[in-house]
Amino acid sequence: MDSNSGAAMNANTLTGTSVHKKKKLNRWLRNYELYLFLLPTLAYFVIFHYVPMYGLQIAFKNFIAVKGITGSPWVGLEHFERFFNSAQFGIIIKNTLLISLYELLFAFPVPIVLALLLNQVTSSKFKRVVQTVTYAPHFISVTIVVGMLYLFLSPHNGLVNHLLQALGMEPVFFLGSESWFKTVFITSGIWQNAGWSTIIYLAALTSVNPDLHEAAIMDGANKWQRIFHIDIPSIMPTIMILLILSVGNFMTVGFEKIYLMQNSLNAGSSEVIQTYVYKTGLLGAQYSYSTAIGLFNSVINFILLLAINTVAKKANQASLW
Amino acid sequence: MAATHRTRMDRAFDIFNYTVLTFVLIVVLYPLYTVVISSISDPDLVNSGKVWLFPRGITFEGYERIFSDSSIWLGYRNSLLYMTVGTVVNVSLTLTSGYALSRADLAGRNFFMLLITFTMFFGGGLIPTYLLVKQLGMVNTMWALIVPGAVGAYNIIIARTFFQSSIPNEILEAAQMDGCSNTRFFLRIVLPLSVPIVAVMVLFSAVGHWNAYFQALIYIRNENLYPLQLILRKILIVNESQDQMLANLTDMTEQQRIADLMKYGVIMVASLPMLVLYPFLQKYFVKGVMIGSIKG
């Protein structure tokens, strides 16, 4: 990508250094507009991303509003210790890890399977219909999705419980039950996002060399065999990249949706790190304590990202860098 | 014969495939369809599980109530405003910075990219950001919903990738030869060549702003500034969980009957902009993800 500027540079050295310098200065001057283009965005990132990183120090302090971030007294690891020793710690970590794990086990493979199946559909009309319909829920807000869950899963009036009763089963209060919470969360997540997530795999599948399939057909391979021996290996790099990204966010679960689905009845199963940070931090105004928890969360995510990326690199699979 | 065996297996696969996909189609579509028919059906029939395939006891009372509810319309108006301003800010910043970073002759661009990309993997988190926004005096103003998320690292990468791959360097060199300034080049040449990416950015940003509720939950206390999603939360969720707390009280008042009907209607009204636009915009959305999937 630098071949053009390299060529320009060569031309410059031919015409002598003074001209070269003048041209370089000209280029800087000419490009000052590009820096102006970049300036507001850089300012945004410094102010709204790096200043809060500087603010992370309150995790090791006792934040007192009047003294400000720098003026508040240091307390070392007190907040971290308090969190690790709190009664909530075990439950929150367990819920966060389980939700992430279930997501990886159940939600992650669905779009891959769906894309492999869609890719084999010969009728382009049917394919388009399936795509249009399955992409649609992605554009519905979480508020509405959770609202629909409350309506459909209502123990008295909900569609699902009417169905269960028609089949002779007892109605279930899905959203008021700890044992059902994670299932409902993951399942509705698949409903909302699996279709949309196929796009990236479908794009990867279109770049599979058709010669491979033709040669395989000549050799008598059927569609099942071609999926397993051609399609899946071909999209493996894409799968790996997405896997790395989701492991890098392992401790970050869909907070916005969980918070909407949470109530006092299911809290034992739905309290995760971010909901706890929000409640103790913003609703309970324990700024330092909840910042410490948030920092703990980010650091673990970051370590996981580095670890899985290294593993993927070692295994000669695709990696982020 | 291997070939006949193959075709038999292939046929089995096709039958399996179409069955599975048809099932998926129904599973995804049915909940949405149910909302539509329930919003115009007699709530008593809906609640007793008698509305499955077609609307029954057709009534538009839910919609009438919704259209006369001022808080919903205030939320609608607020959301439209936040969406418009937020999208303009977001798209302008994404395109200008994405373009600048796409230029190989921009000194220091690797450093700038690192600065931006790093924020995708690490950040200050909820509380330090909240304290900052509060200190800047943005709490309880529309700016708290727009400025802290003014531009996203991922979008910049998408835009940059697009510019790098679709604006030929020869055009830039020719324009510079003619003394065309960077701003002029960006506005007159780059943007007209970038309609797809602009469309994608506008759509992603607009949908994001329309559907967001959490920023408003944190930063907005004044109910007159509530976006639609917070009003929806109040109608659909906060109220619902209270209803369910009282689940053993079987005495259903007329008010609750209407409240249930309104819930379906409100979902329809709130999703309307998306439902109307979605079929036309689908190909742009897909394009956006495809561009994003190319490693930058």
User: Band of the pLDDT at A141, cuts 50, 70, 90?
Assistant: very high
| pLDDT at A11 exceeding the cut of 70 | no
A207 shares a domain with A152? yes
The whole-angstrom separation of Cα A86 and Cα A215 is 62
User: Band of the pLDDT at B66, cuts 50, 70, 90?
Assistant: confident
B121 φ/ψ angles, rounded to the nearest 5 degrees:
-110, -15
A47 shares a domain with A185? no
Give percent above pLDDT 70 in chain B.
92
CB–CB contact B213 A297 (8 Å): no
Instruction: Give me the pLDDT at residue A10, please.
Output: 46
Which residues on adjacent β-strands are paired with residue A74?
Answer: A61
Angstrom distances, CA of residue B239 to CA of A12, A148, A151, B290:
72, 13, 12, 40
Q: Which of A93-107, A215-229, B204-218, B241-255 has the lowest mean pLDDT?
A: B241-255
Instruction: Give me the pLDDT at residue B166, please.
Output: 86
Instruction: Give me the pLDDT at residue A13, please.
Output: 47
The whole-angstrom separation of Cα B101 and Cα B151 is 14
User: Band of the pLDDT at A34, cuts 50, 70, 90?
Assistant: very high
Average pLDDT over residues A83-102: 93
Instruction: Give me the pLDDT at residue A27, please.
Output: 65
Residues of B in contact with A224 (CB under 8 A): 9, 13
| pLDDT at A2 exceeding the cut of 70 | no
Tens of pLDDT, residues A254-295: 889 999 999 989 989 999 999 999 999 999 999 999 999 999
A57 shares a domain with A84? no
Instruction: Give me the pLDDT at residue B2, please.
Output: 56
Residues 4-23 of A with CB under 8 A from B: 4-5
A231 shares a domain with A85? yes
CB–CB contact B122 A298 (8 Å): yes
Structurally, chain A folds into a number of domains equal to 2
User: Band of the pLDDT at B292, cuts 50, 70, 90?
Assistant: low
Tens of pLDDT, residues A146-190: 999 999 998 888 889 889 988 988 888 998 889 999 999 999 999
The 3-class secondary structure across chain B, one letter per residue, is: CHHHHHHHHHHHHHHHHHHHHHHHHHHHHHHHHHHHHHCCCCHHHHHCCCCCCCCCCCCCHHHHHHHCCHHHHHHHHHHHHHHHHHHHHHHHHHHHHHHHHHCCCCCCHHHHHHHHHHCCCCCCCHHHHHHHHHHCCCCCCCHHHHCCCCCCHHHHHHHHHHHHHHCCHHHHHHHHHCCCCHHHHHHHHHHHHCHHHHHHHHHHHHHHHHHCCHHHHHHCCCHHHCCHHHHHHHHHHHHHHHHHHCCCCCCCCHHHHHHHHHHHHHHHHHHHHHHHHHHHHHHHHHHHHHHHHCCC
The residue of A30, A41, A119 whose CB has the most chain B CBs within 10 angstroms, and thus the best one to mutate to test that interface, is A41
Which residues on adjacent β-strands are paired with residue A310?
Answer: none
A179 shares a domain with A66? no
The answer to the question of residue A320 being in a domain is: no
The answer to the question of residue A92 being in a domain is: yes
Sign of CA dihedral A108, B116, A252, B218: negative
A222 shares a domain with A139? yes
Average pLDDT of chain A, as a whole number: 88
Within 10 angstroms of residue A275's Cβ, the number of other Cβ atoms is 20
The whole-angstrom separation of Cα B70 and Cα B223 is 12
CB A108 within 8 A of CB A261: no
A227 shares a domain with A285? yes
B221 φ/ψ angles, rounded to the nearest 5 degrees:
-105, -30
Q: A137 is written with which tokens?
A: 């829920």
The answer to the question of residue A321 being in a domain is: no
Give percent above pLDDT 70 in chain A.
90
CB B90 within 8 A of CB A27: no
Q: Closest partner residue to A287 among B31, B131, B244, by Cβ?
A: B131
A238 shares a domain with A107? yes
Tens of pLDDT, residues B4-51: 777 888 899 999 999 999 999 999 999 999 999 999 998 888 888 888
Instruction: Give me the pLDDT at residue A5, please.
Output: 44
The whole-angstrom separation of Cα B125 and Cα B119 is 11
Residues of A in contact with B176 (CB under 8 A): 30
CB–CB contact A49 B119 (8 Å): yes
CB–CB contact B34 A204 (8 Å): no
Question: How many CA atoms within 13 Å lie on the side-chain side of A243?
Answer: 19
The whole-angstrom separation of Cα A226 and Cα B89 is 47
User: Band of the pLDDT at B221, cuts 50, 70, 90?
Assistant: very high
Tens of pLDDT, residues A35-57: 999 999 999 999 999 999 999 99
A126 shares a domain with A38? no
Residues of A in contact with B17 (CB under 8 A): 117, 120-121
Q: Closest partner residue to B21 among A117, A146, A199, by Cβ?
A: A117
Question: Among candidates B155, B143, B241, B40, which has minimal Cα distance to A259?
Answer: B241
CB–CB contact B213 A142 (8 Å): yes
**Residue whose structure tokens are 């993951």:** A186
User: Band of the pLDDT at A7, cuts 50, 70, 90?
Assistant: very low
CB B104 within 8 A of CB B163: no
Better-scored residue on pLDDT, B52 or A276 = A276
CB–CB contact A129 B147 (8 Å): no
User: Band of the pLDDT at A317, cuts 50, 70, 90?
Assistant: low
Q: Note down the domain range covering A35.
A: 3-71
The residue of B110, B127, B170 whose CB has the most chain A CBs within 10 angstroms, and thus the best one to mutate to test that interface, is B127
Amino acid at A286: Q
A83 shares a domain with A60? no
Average pLDDT over residues A67-86: 92
**Residue whose structure tokens are 């796409």:** B102
Domain spans in chain B, listed from the N-terminal domain onward: 69-296
The whole-angstrom separation of Cα B296 and Cα B293 is 8
Sign of CA dihedral B126, B132, B136, B137: positive
Instruction: Give me the pLDDT at residue B253, please.
Output: 64
Residues of B in contact with A140 (CB under 8 A): 211, 271, 274
Instruction: Give me the pLDDT at residue A313, please.
Output: 83
Question: How many CA atoms within 13 Å lie on the side-chain side of B186?
Answer: 19
The whole-angstrom separation of Cα A113 and Cα A110 is 5
The answer to the question of residue A236 being in a domain is: yes
Q: B225 is written with which tokens?
A: 């500034």
Question: Among candidates B272, B258, B224, B240, which has minimal Cα distance to B64?
Answer: B258
Averaging pLDDT over each range in A238-252, A261-275, B240-254, which range is the top one? Answer: A261-275
A126 shares a domain with A33? no
The whole-angstrom separation of Cα A320 and Cα A236 is 14
Tens of pLDDT, residues B148-169: 999 999 899 989 988 998 888 8
Q: Closest partner residue to B282 among A135, A203, A259, by Cβ?
A: A135
Using a CB cutoff of 8 Å and minimum separation of 24, what contacts does B283-287 make? B284/B196, B284/B199, B284/B200, B284/B203, B285/A135, B285/B200, B285/B203, B285/B204, B286/A135, B286/A199, B287/B196, B287/B200
Residue that finishes a domain, picked among A71, A90, A125: A71
The whole-angstrom separation of Cα A57 and Cα B124 is 10
Burial B94-129 (b: 16+ CB within 10 A, else e): bbbbbbbbbbebbeebeebbebbbebebebbbbbbb
CB–CB contact B9 A30 (8 Å): no
Amino acid at B157: I
Domain boundaries B69-296, CATH class: mainly alpha
Residues of B in contact with A274 (CB under 8 A): 126
Within 10 angstroms of residue A87's Cβ, the number of other Cβ atoms is 6
Better-scored residue on pLDDT, B260 or A211 = A211
The whole-angstrom separation of Cα A111 and Cα A104 is 12
Burial A178-216 (b: 16+ CB within 10 A, else e): eebbbebbbebbbbbbbbbbbbbbbbbbeebeeeeeeeb
The whole-angstrom separation of Cα A279 and Cα B109 is 40
Better-scored residue on pLDDT, B277 or A91 = A91
The whole-angstrom separation of Cα B293 and Cα B287 is 10
User: Band of the pLDDT at B247, cuts 50, 70, 90?
Assistant: very low
Q: A90 is written with which tokens?
A: 């075990």
The whole-angstrom separation of Cα A13 and Cα A296 is 53
The 3-class secondary structure across A75-91, one letter per residue, is: CCCHHHHHHHHCHHHHH
Residues 37-96 of A with CB under 8 A from B: 37-38, 40-42, 44-45, 47-56, 58, 69
